[in-house]
């Protein structure tokens, strides 16, 4: 539990099936099955869905996607790292350290999975000024870009919603990479498993073999 001012404590934990209803009600995804799908990926070791709770109230969220997840991006492939997706804090809870706690939890999950580096894309327009400031403060540095990031969000009714933005990609080298953690089993068609072990030079830098 982390104090977030005004006597409130925040707990960041993995989304559990029992929490789905409360999470969707407070922080709705773009369709009713998105979060259940994320739990499915989490159970397969391909993603971690983190939720920040203040008491019984969800206040923020962040997802980490790993190699093998369908949303693992070309940028993450290029940088050879898991990445943070869909970080957000409910407006009423902003500026109280909740995103900081979520990113710290994402970094712990990344290290526990055996990676020494975490990446994320961030928009270049004014809407993302707060996020850019947050990431800079937390030690994320420019890796590549700008590039257009596009996705189609599947809605419950009607056609998929296209979204796009111009982004840069940031990475952070994580100290204390988990040299003692056994790499999890995962589908590895690109032969990238060495990134996870922390033993070879490739895994220490977590850069893609060239």
Residues that bind ligand COA (CB under 6 A): 87-89, 94-100, 122, 128, 130-131, 133-134, 137
Looking at the Cβ atoms of 98 and 174, the one nearer to ligand COA is 98
Whole-angstrom Cα distance, residue 158 to residue 179?
A: 47
**Phi, psi dihedral angles at 181 (to 5 degrees):** -85, 130
By beta carbon distance, the residue nearest ligand COA is: 99
Looking at the Cβ atoms of 65 and 177, the one nearer to ligand COA is 65
Looking at the Cβ atoms of 45 and 145, the one nearer to ligand COA is 145
Q: How far is the CB of 20 from ligand COA (least distance, A)?
A: 21
Looking at the Cβ atoms of 134 and 151, the one nearer to ligand COA is 134
Looking at the Cβ atoms of 96 and 172, the one nearer to ligand COA is 96
Residue 196: both structure tokens together? 């996870």
Q: How far is the CB of 131 from ligand COA (least distance, A)?
A: 4
Q: How far is the CB of 172 from ligand COA (least distance, A)?
A: 14
- Count the alpha carbons within 13 Å of 13 in the hemisphere toward its beta carbon: 16
Please report the beta strands in the chain, taking only residues with DSSP state E, as ranges in sequence order.
2-3, 9-14, 47-54, 57-65, 83-89, 117-123, 141-153, 161-173
Q: How far is the CB of 130 from ligand COA (least distance, A)?
A: 3
Whole-angstrom Cα distance, residue 164 to residue 175?
A: 33
Whole-angstrom Cα distance, residue 106 to residue 113?
A: 11
Q: How far is the CB of 194 from ligand COA (least distance, A)?
A: 29
């Amino acid at each position: 539990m982390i104090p977030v001012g005004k006597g409130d404590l925040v707990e960041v934990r993995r989304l559990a099936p029992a929490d789905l209803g409360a999470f969707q009600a407070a922080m709705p995804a773009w369709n009713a099955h998105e979060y259940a799908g994320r739990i499915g990926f989490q159970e397969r070791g391909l993603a971690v869905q983190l939720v920040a709770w203040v008491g019984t109230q969800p206040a923020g969220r962040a997802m980490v996607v790993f190699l093998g997840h369908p949303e693992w991006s070309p940028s993450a492939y290029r940088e050879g790292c898991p990445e943070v997706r869909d970080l957000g804090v409910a407006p009423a809870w902003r500026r109280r350290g909740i995103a900081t706690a979520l990113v710290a939890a994402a970094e712990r999950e990344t290290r526990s999975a055996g990676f020494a580096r975490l990446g994320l894309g961030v928009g270049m327009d004014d809407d993302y000024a707060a996020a850019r400031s947050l990431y800079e403060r937390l030690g994320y540095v420019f890796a590549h870009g700008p590039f257009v990031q596009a996705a189609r969000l599947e809605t419950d009714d009607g056609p998929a919603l296209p979204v796009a933005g111009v982004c840069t990609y940031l990475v952070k080298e994580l100290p204390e990479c988990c040299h003692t953690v056994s790499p999890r089993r995962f589908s590895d068609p690109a032969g990238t498993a060495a990134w996870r072990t922390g033993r070879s030079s490739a895994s220490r830098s977590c850069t893609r073999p060239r």
